[in-house]
């Protein structure tokens, strides 16, 4: 039986055709037209397989950064920013420009630059951020409640692979993150008007609720249920097969943690019974996640 976990790619903004404005509207619309022009150029370069699309998506995200705020709930420029930010993740990894430890490599004004990534609230290390997946729409019957909300930044699912001796981590871990772009000023018409360089900020949505911005603290976007849906997408339930042939699942039969061990916290061990499979504890794990995120400074779960 295939569980009903369906994972879909994000709905990226489509490039808009050239728009015309009256003389009185042109000044206010200039920066919007500039961002839309850059976005169309970025999409074109991506479709042709050019690594330069990373640089164009970065320029779009930078030009629209000021629109990613709570007061702009139905703003096209905000949607454009989020779409460019997700595309920056996808194309940055595709063309080996995005490294969680060294940052994002771009070319701007003819010069190569490194955009650093700062991490907030994680118990994971930067080296654990091996692959980033922007969260789109998904449907699942694996859990009853989906814990997600809108806000600044874009939700991601982070994948870490490889066994770490003595860590009790599984061979593959997935966890939630929120990515946003931070800059002290705006970029209009290709001119940078702030001396402070922009940066990419990665937040642990389980432990951090707000991001510090030039408009004051802003609620971050989060999707705490997405990692479980992503991990279980299109997997088959194997309850009966594993019961009849327990040796078939021997590789999965070991004690492991859902997060790196944190000194001072007491691990909770879940022990399954007969007729169990990887879906057995999904509902249980999904619910404490939201409770932990509501406690300021909470350390989350160890097991």
For the segment 132-158, what is each residue's pLDDT rounded down to a tens digit? 999 999 988 878 889 999 999 999 999
Q: pLDDT band at 5, cuts 50/70/90?
A: confident
Indicate the domain borders of the chain. 5-230
Give the per-residue pLDDT at 300.
Answer: 38
- For 174-188, what is each residue's pLDDT tens digit? 999 999 999 765 443
Q: Of 65-69, 187-191, 248-252, 273-277, which range is least confident?
A: 187-191
Q: What is the pLDDT of residue 287?
A: 79
Model-wide pTM > 0.85:
no
The helix (H) or strand (E) run that includes residue 145 is none
Q: Calculate mean pLDDT across residues 189-210.
A: 74
pLDDT at 193: 41
Helix ranges, the chain (H):
23-47, 53-63, 76-94, 226-232, 239-244, 282-293
Task: State the chain's mean pLDDT as an integer.
Answer: 81
Helix (H, G, I), strand (E, B) or coil at 231: helix
Name the more confident of 273 and 94: 94
User: What does the pLDDT read at residue 169?
Assistant: 86
Across 227-243, average pLDDT: 70
Write out the E strands in the chain. Answer: 5-7, 98-99, 103-108, 111-115, 117-120, 131-134, 138-140, 148-149, 154-161, 172-182, 187-188, 191-192, 199-203, 210-213, 216-219, 222-223
Rounded average pLDDT over 108-126? 93
pLDDT of 274 over the 80 cut: no
Q: Is 285 exposed, middle or buried (0-12, 13-18, 19+ CB in 10 A)?
A: middle
pLDDT computed for residue 18 by the predictor: 59
pLDDT band at 196 (very low <50, low <70, confident <90, very high): very low
Distances (CA, A) of 175 to 46, 142, 208: 28, 17, 14
- What pLDDT does 94 receive? 97
């Amino acid at each position: 039986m295939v569980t009903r976990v369906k994972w879909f790619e994000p709905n990226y903004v489509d490039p808009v055709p050239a728009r015309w404005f009256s003389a009185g509207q042109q000044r206010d619309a200039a920066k919007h037209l500039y961002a839309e022009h850059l976005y169309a150029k970025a999409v074109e370069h991506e479709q042709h397989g050019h690594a330069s699309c990373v640089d164009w998506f970065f320029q779009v995200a930078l030009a629209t950064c000021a629109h990613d705020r709570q007061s702009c709930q139905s703003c096209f420029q905000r949607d454009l920013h989020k779409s460019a930010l997700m595309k920056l993740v996808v194309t940055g990894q595709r063309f080996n420009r995005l490294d969680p430890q060294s940052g994002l490599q771009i070319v701007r004004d003819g010069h190569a630059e490194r955009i650093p990534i700062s991490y907030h609230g994680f118990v994971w290390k930067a080296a654990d951020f091996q692959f980033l997946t922007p969260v789109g729409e998904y449907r699942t019957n694996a859990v009853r409640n989906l814990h997600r909300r809108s806000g600044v930044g874009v939700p991601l699912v982070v994948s870490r692979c490889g066994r770490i001796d003595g860590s009790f981590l599984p061979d593959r871990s997935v966890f939630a993150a929120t990515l946003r772009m931070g800059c002290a000023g705006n970029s209009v018409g290709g001119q940078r008007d702030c001396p402070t360089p922009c940066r990419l900020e990665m937040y642990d949505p389980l432990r951090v609720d707000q991001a510090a911005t030039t408009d004051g603290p802003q609620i971050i976007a989060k999707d705490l249920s997405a990692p479980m849906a992503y991990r279980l997408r299109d997997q088959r339930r194997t309850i009966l097969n594993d019961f009849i042939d327990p040796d078939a699942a021997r590789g999965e039969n070991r004690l492991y943690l859902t997060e790196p061990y944190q000194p001072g916290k007491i691990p909770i061990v879940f022990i399954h019974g007969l007729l169990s499979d990887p879906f057995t504890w999904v509902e249980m794990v999904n619910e404490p996640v939201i409770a932990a995120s509501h406690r300021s400074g909470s350390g989350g779960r160890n097991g």
